């Protein structure tokens, strides 16, 4: 592998990791919001539920559409798997909070 190709792969991997980190941060924000909502009565107004569900759908689509680079590490793959599971679990938490 020549240096130019190696530099390109490293750049792509850094960008990929930054993207996944940003998605992880977004999941944390909505996780917090849903956690707080689950502790309140009558929180699920139509507006809140619609916005939250739309946001979760967008996050899910973004996370599940990520194609892992062939040169990513096992740690990168595991982080993405964990993030997918978090979004799946978060949707279940949202549904429980919205049905109160």
Predicted confidence (pLDDT) per residue in 39-65, tens digit: 665 666 778 888 888 999 999 999 999
pLDDT at 32 over 80: yes
Q: 7-28: buried (b, 16+ CB within 10 Å) or exposed (e) per residue?
A: eeeeeeeeebbeebeebeebbe
Average pLDDT score over the chain = 87
Give pTM, 2 decimals.
0.76
């Amino acid at each position: 592998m020549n240096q130019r190709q190696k530099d390109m792969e490293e750049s792509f991997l850094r960008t990929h990791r930054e993207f996944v980190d940003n998605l992880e941060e977004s999941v944390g924000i909505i996780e917090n919001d849903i956690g707080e909502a689950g502790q309140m009565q009558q929180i699920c107004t139509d507006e809140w539920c619609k916005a939250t569900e739309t946001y979760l759908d967008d996050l899910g689509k973004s996370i599940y559409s990520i194609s892992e680079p062939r040169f990513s590490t096992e740690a990168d793959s595991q982080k993405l798997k964990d993030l997918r599971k978090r979004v799946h679990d978060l949707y279940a938490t949202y549904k429980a909070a919205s049905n109160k």
